[in-house]
Structures are given as structure tokens and as C-alpha cells.
Structure 1
């Protein structure tokens, strides 16, 4: 239970800090980008370091980076499918999700991922 309270508090502080940073930057659409993912990731990594040590947190960090790279690629693909191939949103999203899964797990396995 304490872990959830800490995650909630650290995440809330980080969301506020990144939102303030995003508010200062241009364009204003960066506020939402900086408000969500980095704050949750940092709160999770802080707890991982505290509970499991730096090696475990490093593995978590690599997993987050692999997922982010896969997300960028799948986002670009879905944009191309929607704009250039004129696909409907649902099939384009489903294809992109399959691509994301293949890329994320592929990058994880390529780096010697372990469960």
C-alpha cells in the first residue's frame, strides 16, 4: 500500500513539474507530452531503484526505451497508412499495434531481454 502512495505522490509532483516545463516551451502542445509519460516513468524508476536496486532499474529503463522506439515507428507507420494509403482508422491502428509488439519484443530480445 505504501508503494502506491509513494508512486501517487512522486507521480503527482513529477506531473506538475513537467507540466510547468511544458507550459514554458513552445508550442503549447508540449505541455501534455511532458506531463504524462516522463513523470510516470521517473516515479516507477525511483521505486524500482529503491526496492530492487540499480541493475533492475536499468533493465526497466531499457524496456521503456525499446517501447518508446517501437511506439515512434508504429506512430509513423499509422500516419502513413492513414494519409497515404487512405486506410480506415481501425485497420491502420490494428496493423500498427502488431508492428509495435513485434518491434518492442524484438528490440528487447535483441538486447538479451529476460523476464
Structure 2
């Protein structure tokens, strides 16, 4: 239970810091990008280092980076699919999910995402 309390407070502090950075940047749409995801990742990695050591946290950070790269590619594929085809949002996202899975697991396989 105390791990969740620590994660809650640490995440809240880092969310606030990233929200301030996002508020300074233009356009304002970056504010959300710089608030939630990085702060949750940092809080999780901090707890992972404390509980399991640096090696485990390094493994988790590689998985987070692979997921982030895959999400960026997925987002581009969804946007391009919606622009260039007659598909609506649901089929485009479901089809593009395959791209996300291939990229994420491919990166993990190539760059040591194993336990």
C-alpha cells in the first residue's frame, strides 16, 4: 500500500513540474504531453530502482522507450490511414494497432527487452 502512496505523491509532484514546462511551451497542446506520461514513468522507475535495483529499472526503461517509439509510429500510421483512405476512426485504429504491436515487440527483441 505504501508503494501506491509514494507513487501517488511522487507522480503528483512530477506531473505539476511537467505541466509548468508544458504551459510555457507553444502550442498549448503540448501541455498534456508534458504532464502525465513522463511523470508516471519517472515515478515508476524511481520505485523500480528502490525495490528491484538499477538493472531491473534499466530493463523497464527500455520497454518504455520501445513503447513510446511504437506509439509515435502508430500515431503517424493512424493519421495517414485516416487521411488517405475512406476508413473511419475505429477500423483505422484497430488496423494500426497491428503496426504498434510489431514495432514494439520488434524493438524489444532487437534491443534486449527480455527478462
- Global fold match (TM > 0.5): yes
TM-score (norm 2): 0.95
Looking at structure 2, the residues matched to 97 and 62 of structure 1 have their Cα atoms a distance apart, in angstroms, of 20
Alignment-derived partner of residue 49 in structure 2: 49
SS in 2 for 1:86: coil
State whether residues 70 and 104 of structure 2, in contact with CA within 8 Å, keep that contact through their aligned partners in structure 1. Answer: yes
Q: Deviation digits for residues 51-101 of structure 1, max 9, x if unmatched?
A: 111111111111000001111111100101101113111110001111111
CA drift of 1:35 comes to: 0.7
- The number of residue pairs the alignment matches comes to 115
Alignment-derived partner of residue 89 in structure 1: 89
SS in 1 for 2:34: helix
Structure 1 regions of 5+ residues with no counterpart?
A: none
Looking at structure 2, the residues matched to 33 and 99 of structure 1 have their Cα atoms a distance apart, in angstroms, of 22
Structure 2 regions of 5+ residues with no counterpart?
A: none
- Name the Cα RMSD after superposition: 0.9
Equivalent positions of 1:1-115 (< 5 A) are 1-115=1-115
Find runs of 4+ consecutive structure 1 residues off by over 3 angstroms.
Answer: none
TM-score (norm 1): 0.95
